[in-house]
């Protein structure tokens, strides 16, 4: 999952996953989280998912399993 932040905002990835886990089935909660400056969009404003897929995981991606975050089913 990629996200963008408002200027001067911060994110706690564990809190974000807690929020997702309360509202999504466990298998939909993302394993990797990454903050981008800007999400790529086409000329009409739709997200360019192909660009995101092709770039893959960035070096700054946060892995919930590597950080010990455990989802309950």
Confidence band of 25 (pLDDT split at 50, 70, 90):
very high
Kind and range of the H or E element at 52? helix 49-55
Work out the average pLDDT over 20-44: 95
| 2-21: pLDDT as tens digits | 999 999 999 999 999 999 99
Map out the domains of the chain as residue ranges. 2-63
pTM: 0.85
DSSP secondary structure letter of residue 24: S
- Structure confidence at residue 72 (pLDDT): 81
Residue 13's nearest CA partner among 52, 61, 50 is 61
Contact yes or no for 32/61 (Cβ under 8 A): yes
Q: Which CATH architecture has domain 2-63?
A: 2-Layer Sandwich (3.30)
The set of residues, in sequence order, having a beta carbon less than 8 Å from that of 42 and lying 6+ positions away, is: 48
């Amino acid at each position: 999952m990629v996200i963008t932040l408002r200027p001067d905002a911060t994110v706690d990835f564990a809190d974000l996953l807690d929020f997702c886990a309360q509202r999504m089935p466990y298998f939909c909660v993302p394993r990797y989280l990454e903050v981008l400056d800007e999400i790529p969009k086409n000329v009409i404003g739709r997200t360019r998912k192909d660009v995101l897929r092709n770039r893959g995981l960035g070096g700054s991606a946060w892995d919930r399993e590597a950080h010990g975050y455990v989802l309950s089913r």
